[in-house]
Amino acid sequence: MQAAHLIVLIHGLYGDLHNLHEVKSELLAQAQDPKRISPSAGLDTSVPSRPQNGSDGKELLTVVYLPKNISGARTWDGIDVCAQRVAEEVEGEIDRLFDEGTDVVGFSVMGYSLGGLIARYIIGLLNARQPSFFVRHKPISFSTAATPHLGILKYDTKTNKIVHAIGKRLFSQTGRQLYCLDHEPEREGRSLLEIMADPDSIFIHALRLFPRVMLVANGTQDLTVPYPTASISSTDPFADPALIDIHVDDKHIVRSYRMVTAHTLQESELGGTTLTSSAIEKDIADDVEVTVTTITHRPVMDVGLAGKKKPFLPPVFFLPLPWPLNYSLLVFIPILLPFALLYLFIMFVVHFLQSQKRIREHRNKQAHQPLAMFPTDPLLLNPFPSLQSTPLSSALHRIDTATEDFEDGVSTPPILDSLWRDATSAPSLLLTSQQKLMVQQLNEAIPHAERVVAWFPWVYNSHAMLICRSVSRFPWQEDGRGVVKTWAKFVFESGEKVRHLSTDAVAHGKEQ
């Protein structure tokens, strides 16, 4: 049997497997011998990594799998429903690989946007099997990018209130779950996201089994999934860029940042912010203390690295034509707008009705033919408490993972949080008591999580940039390549971190 590390990629709301094409490509690029790529079903691909000195002396395949049964409006059917579909697909793919002579010995999952929540539900389902899925398929890494772990956030602005009022009525059951409005009687009035963050749930028990966890978040300009919910944080240190000194590398990843201590912040006539700060320094020559005042002009954040300027409208309004033809679509907006709104209304109604029908069919199927291997209730209590004390789980929790020094709302000292809230002019983040509890519980469950903060201040919405989602249509999304490479490298090399824990664990990378 050929040993394999299965990596499952899960796309976001109203997306499809093509959205993660660049992520898949970067994972495959990690292989040492690209000529030996062997195709799998559809867009899935199996790639052998370099030979290892493992217990069996065989090469290890890296199998990248993208689910096919939750594309488009099917993602509206609910996080739980989508997760059960993907779990069935994963089981089918593992069986198919086994029939072809490949044994999946390691398992990783990568979720983008809504896909991260689906991934958290999936691992709970798999862990609840009897015996647990992870007894045979060792958990390697769990990672998400721009995932709304806390649901949809609310800010103290009129625009956000309007978006909330409309948004919570869209996207069928998934929309209700993202806005934490799904207070089902069988869950004792608790929303699904609350259940998934409960320390005693199967979802948290499964999450704790993964020795390596990464949360990738946009630090700025993500209008879809802002930093706090993507990084599981109760604060947003990047909300007002004028208040931070930030260092970004050539991959557009934040390497360090610090809050600026200022006595006065005032708007400059030239745009941006003028910062005046004072500090007491000692003059060695005269042996006296002097006050040094520094005045720094901090430019507006519409201009990013290399002089890139944020567009005043979303890219969808610009045609891929030379200037000024790229603005030609704007001329027809007064004519096209009524038809576009009518089309969107009809589309949402049709998709909503179709989603409700699929949900009813799914529940009827469960009622008549319950899935023994995939529990359908939330399972608040872990059905396998003894699993937490197995040699596998004990070894996995001994791993020494390297973490970036990012504040996450749990480790941030309250006094710094207070200073930031007093100084910032950014809209106030209005977390519910349930969301605050989620922050605490999730961070306690994954204290070893590595956080990667991407920085794209020059784009209108950085959500798609994070994974180069449509780079063929929008070439400027290529700027997100460095983040994609970092994410893919983390997942691919995670096996090397686990290799020393047991003789039958998955191995990646060269010997060290």
SS3 81: helix
- Residue 295's pLDDT is 44
- C-alpha 79/C-alpha 179 separation (Å) is 12
Element at 278 (helix H, strand E): strand 273-283
Backbone Cα Rg of the chain: 24
As a whole number, mean pLDDT of residues 229-253 equals 90
- Residue 13's pLDDT is 96
Type of residue at 3: A
Q: Which residues contact 179 (CB under 8 A, 6 or more apart)?
A: 151, 152, 164, 167, 168
Tokens 């089994």 correspond to 209
How many degrees, rounded to 5, is the angle at CA 331 between CA 326 and CA 336?
110
Rounded to the nearest integer, the mean pLDDT of the chain is 77
Structure confidence by residue, pLDDT tens digits, 460-510? 899 999 999 999 888 889 999 999 999 999 999 886 665 444 334 333 332
Residues in the chain, total: 512
- C-alpha 411/C-alpha 447 separation (Å) is 10
- Identify the weakest region by mean pLDDT among 169-173, 245-249, 296-300, 426-430: 296-300
pLDDT over 60 (residue 416): no
In order, the DSSP letters of 392-452 are HHHHHTT----------SSSS-HHHHHHHHHH--SPPB---HHHHHHHHHHHHH-TT-EEE
Structure confidence by residue, pLDDT tens digits, 66-116? 999 999 999 999 999 999 999 999 999 999 999 999 999 999 999 999 999
Q: Is the peptide bond before 324 cis (omega within 30 degrees of 0)?
A: yes
Backbone phi, psi, residue 257, to 5°: -160, 155
Domain positions in the chain are: 2-260+310-501
CA count, 13 A, side-chain hemisphere, 473: 11
- C-alpha 347/C-alpha 409 separation (Å) is 39
- Residue 312's pLDDT is 59
- C-alpha 281/C-alpha 285 separation (Å) is 12
Backbone phi, psi, residue 186, to 5°: -70, -15
- Residue 313's pLDDT is 62
pLDDT confidence bin for 425, thresholds 50/70/90: low
**What are the strands, taking DSSP E only, across 241-287?**
244-248, 254-259, 264-267, 273-283
Q: Which residues contact 144 (CB under 8 A, 6 or more apart)?
A: 110, 111, 112, 115, 116, 119, 214, 215, 216, 230
CA end-to-end span of the chain: 26
As a whole number, mean pLDDT of residues 349-374 equals 75
- Residue 19's pLDDT is 95
pTM of the model: 0.79
Structure confidence by residue, pLDDT tens digits, 325-345? 666 667 777 887 888 889 888
Tell me the β-bridge partners of 422. Answer: none
- C-alpha 139/C-alpha 361 separation (Å) is 32
In order, the DSSP letters of 135-202 are HHSEEEEEEEES--TT-S--BSSHHHHHHHHHHTTSSHHHHHHHTT----GGGTT--HHHHHH-TTSH
Sheet holding 102-112, edge to edge: 38-39, 45-48, 60-65, 2-10, 102-112, 138-145, 212-218, 450-454
CB atoms within 10 A of CB 382: 20
Structure tokens at 412: 């941030």
Tokens 């990464």 correspond to 214
**What are the strands, taking DSSP E only, across 288-416?**
288-298
SS3 457: coil
Type of residue at 390: T
- Residue 414's pLDDT is 33
